Structure 1
Amino acid sequence: MSTLPKLSATMNHIPASNPDALRVDEALQLIKTFVQPHTQSLTTELIPLQQSLGRVLAKDLISPINVPAADNSAMDGYAFNSASLFSTSSQFIALKNMGAALAGKPFLTEVEVGACIRIMTGASMPLGCDTVIPQELVQIDGDLISFATNAVKAGDNRRLKGEDLKEGKPALLAGKIIRPADLGLIASLGISQVTVNKKLRVGFFSTGTELRSIGEKLDPGCVYDSNRYTIFGMLSRLNLDLIDFGVVPDQPEDLRLTFATAAAECDVIITSGGVSVGVADYTKQIMQEMGDIGFWKLAIRPGRPMAFGSISSENHQAVLFGLPGNPVATMVTFYQLVKPALLTMAGASHTDTPISKARSLTAIRKLPGRTEFQRGQLSISSDGMPTVLAMPSQGSGVLRSMSEADCLIVLGHNQESIEPGELVDIVLFEGLI
């Protein structure tokens, strides 16, 4: 990985509208600018196609063949020369069937004007044929077929050679995250291996003396650590190489050792907890001692406190995200700021979160001056319009509401209160691909 720039230098190039409450879009721009050098030194690997799902394509994938390899039929029917349409003044035309063409078994004889051949979907167009009449539009009488001359136009229902992909042209561009359809596309080219960027190695841990891991005794005043499992789940969907450093108590020796180990082994470190103003722990102090860290107040709800920068150990730098400790705030800041940055570092070309629209079923109170994310439940109204219901519990510590919700309602920085029936932006938790 390349050396990261100074965080202060990066911030100087991105003037904040309010340094005491950084806008979400400003914070994201700053983070992406800071981590950009990592993309300049990404290492690659050649892997089997079936192992490439979710990986980032490292270089343009050039098609070695035309797809389709030859003109072929788009449907079951009869292929013929369109000149036949102009060989008669009648409203109907009759053609003599000379044979059949199947997918993988072409008809090898030239078809003359006034003749046709039975053809199946995907079968190569015989020499002399440029048009297909669907089988449901013809009448059959022995070896003759007939149909209305206005039922089809020259060139109809024919897929052209190279129509999908042309030999020597890019089939997929570098930076593409490989999805199921891409696997099929690559396979259609006869390619069995692809060059992808190596996975980012991400280390994560929770901080707090009060935290206990699953299976440990829950002492008075202590709570089970949930954030680490939530972060694990969110990271797992990004196809990364993960290292779980567990729960680290608020002790200087433990924190220094964990930060040093994580920085030496990882490209990115993600922590939760210990970044709020006035927190009585050592996390912020150790971060500053070992790295180039900025502590921000974001104009966001939930998720106001955040730390960002880099940690150094053994001549290696790791990007650091210090997320707030409240469970919902952890998730919101991860999806809005960390996920796009990780995709950028991984070399992905598209990192923006898709936004949809829905009609709000409830009034939502909102003051301008910060971006708010409310948990919502999506449904479809009787008129087919997506509608969203804001969950009644919106506290940043109410993780159950995130489990019950299926989307986030996004209220922009300058947006004011929402009345029932108004359109709002939403981010879906789940997607098809």
Structure 2
Amino acid sequence: MKPFVFLFLVSSLNAAEPLDTFIEKERPSLIQLYEHLHAHPELSLHEEKTSVRMAEEIRKVGFEVTEKVGGFGVVGVLKNGPGKTVLVRTDLDGLPVREIGSVPYVSKTTTKDDAGNDVSVMHACGHDMHMTCWLGAARALAASKDQWQGTLVFIAQPAEERGLGALAMVGDGLYQRFPKPDVCLALHCDSSLAVGTFGFTSGPATASTDTVEIMVKGIGGHGAMPNLTKDPIVLASQIVLALQTIDSRELHPVEPVVITVGKFIGGTKSNIIPDKVELGLTVRTTSTETRTQVLEAIKRICRGLGIAAGLPENLLPEIAITGPGTPSVYNDPALTARVTQVWAEAFGKTSVIERKPTMAGEDFSRYTMTPDKIPVFLAWLGTVAPEKMERAKASGEILPSLHSPFYRPEPAPSITFGVKAMTLAVLYELNHK
């Protein structure tokens, strides 16, 4: 990268206004937007009002907007002469979490989930911050058209939390109906990094995810007469423990895998042995081979323990892999190196932190999994006040993680750094030949 080009991009958003000054001017309205989004989250596949707001906001700054792409997806296109095409993604959906906090914009939203249950909703994964930084970058880039040539494709994606939105948008012709990008970029909040820092991983960056549902069957009866039953609670408990041996005894010791049983439902009364137990698993792996091996091992263990418990064939555990899952995000090494170099020069080398892959899932991976193999880069945005991190480090306190009812980014500084980082990354990619 040529230093003088970088300095030019940093020092001047347009002929009259530096980028930092532009962001400072826009920050009050962006904070207001963030607080509105935080207070009014919507569940996956139900992001109707959020998508309308994002479409309205990006249309105001000159993007040609198409709504309802792959559900409630939004696509904004801004053309500015010949050149590269850069796609920037944000996600729209919240989580069924009841927020705990005292800030004025705390979410009090409740709704029905797809099963008809009453649930609270919260942006516990920071998608409200993602949307705000996305819009801020769109505003900055639209205001600096004399600094770049090419095409911007800004997309707001539904259902990231369920791993469905990216697949739906690609399936609805994202790369056929709109300009095909040369690169794709995204930011994701991080609850363990200080504001002003950015985490990155070159190559495999997140895990592939699968949801596995296991129906453990049995023969119910009186709790005082277990000899006349086949107890599915005991069998399900044995399965939960046995599944952990897949990682410890069947895989290479340094191969990353997570098998978490997050749902265990069975029984109605203490003295009744039920006739079924429901188990729900999330399975995280980083390679296709390991994924196949783990899923097959789960099936084998469940069947084997069912036979050992004396169950007939028609009562052996039933295993179902639900949904398409999310493949591992692979950050293109060359793209990663370019963007992190831009950030290192803008924010300082210590602000850009290389980190190990996470076992979290992200369907941003779908945008590179087409025949074109378009390079993607997903980075982690620090959102915790530095002084809060120092206090936690000194006291041993564990800070709220993503998906926690207590997690909230520090709005003003997170927005400032997120908007600037994404704007600089896009500007460099558009001007990089």
Q: TM-score range by the shorter chain?
A: under 0.3
* TM-score where L is the length of structure 1: 0.26
Structure having the higher helix fraction is: 2
TM-score w.r.t. structure 2 length? 0.26
